[in-house]
Amino acid sequence: MTRFFVTAEDMQPEFLVLTGENAKHAKVLRLKEGEEVLVCDGQGQECICAVSDVSEGQISLVVRHRQASQTEAAVRVSVYMAFPKADKLEHVIQKATELGAHEIVAFPSARCVSRPDEKSLKKKVERWQKIAASAAEQSGRGVIPEILVLASYKDALKRASQADKGILFYENERAVTLKMSLQTGNYRTISLLTGPEGGLEPGEVQLAREAGLDICTLGKRILRCETAPLCALSAIMYHVGEF
């Protein structure tokens, strides 16, 4: 069933109207009266609608059934990633959205080569949010992950530590595995934090430990900065029964 995202304000009780890019997309799909579509508010609510009228610039819909999204994970996972070089974050945002991440948070750390300024960040965040929206639509999500940028590594630790379980991945950790961390405690929210191309400094890892995060290994091999968060997210989704 074709999926469209609208704002929460546009999710009216009985009738909906698709305009703008949604209307253009509907025209390309050649939707006809009577066909069913799924409309989501991007926050976990969706409704099954029938096309009632197709006109220039808008598609009118009749709401048939409302429900909570059926495709969201029971555990909310926040992916915290230090700024990587080039467009690697775009790749992570797209794939993390497909895998079920609740949000993706970017932050600077000591070894980050990429340090976008405030002006460029505004444009980047807009682009990143569009990538998340497109991936959410393509993968059948009911929630569009929010893309956030924090000012410092300490801000990232403070926010990540508020989850029921916070995990930082460090290539020099040898004893504690992700599986071991996930087997302890009750949690509905998880934060997973990874570093940039050069990894995290020992002092940064100690700060994470002091903030209450579990310090874990992702195995014997060193993963690229864009591979590590997706590997961890996939393992968590498997562990909680999403796969």
Rounded Cα–Cα distance for residues 71 and 177 (Å): 28
pTM of the predicted structure, to 2 decimals: 0.87
CATH number at residue 154: 3.40.1280.10
Over range 203-223, report the average pLDDT. 96
- 47 and 96 both lie in a single domain: no
CATH number at residue 14: 2.40.240.20
Rounded Cα–Cα distance for residues 208 and 160 (Å): 9
For residue 84, give the DSSP letter: P
Structure tokens at 75: 């555990």
**3-class DSSP assignment, residue 206:** helix
Structure tokens at 234: 């996939």
Picking from 18, 37, 68, the residue at the C-terminal end of a domain is 68
Residue with tokens 């900065």: 225
Q: How many domains does the chain have?
A: 2
Structure confidence by residue, pLDDT tens digits, 93-140:
999 999 999 999 999 999 999 888 888 899 999 999 999 999 998 998
Picking from 68, 93, 119, the residue at the C-terminal end of a domain is 68
The pLDDT > 70 percentage for the chain reads 100
- 115 and 194 both lie in a single domain: yes
Phi then psi for residue 231, to 5 deg, are -65, -50
**Structural domain boundaries, residue 185:** 76-239
When pLDDT is cut at 50, 70 and 90, the band that residue 241 belongs to is: very high
Structure confidence by residue, pLDDT tens digits, 24-57:
888 888 888 899 999 998 888 999 999 998 888 8
Residue 173: predicted pLDDT: 95
Picking from 68, 96, 123, the residue at the C-terminal end of a domain is 68
> Which of 41, 43, 37 shows the shortest CA–CA distance to 145?
43
Of 29-33, 212-216, 233-237, which gets the smallest average pLDDT?
29-33
Rounded Cα–Cα distance for residues 36 and 34 (Å): 6
When pLDDT is cut at 50, 70 and 90, the band that residue 70 belongs to is: confident
- 90 and 135 both lie in a single domain: yes
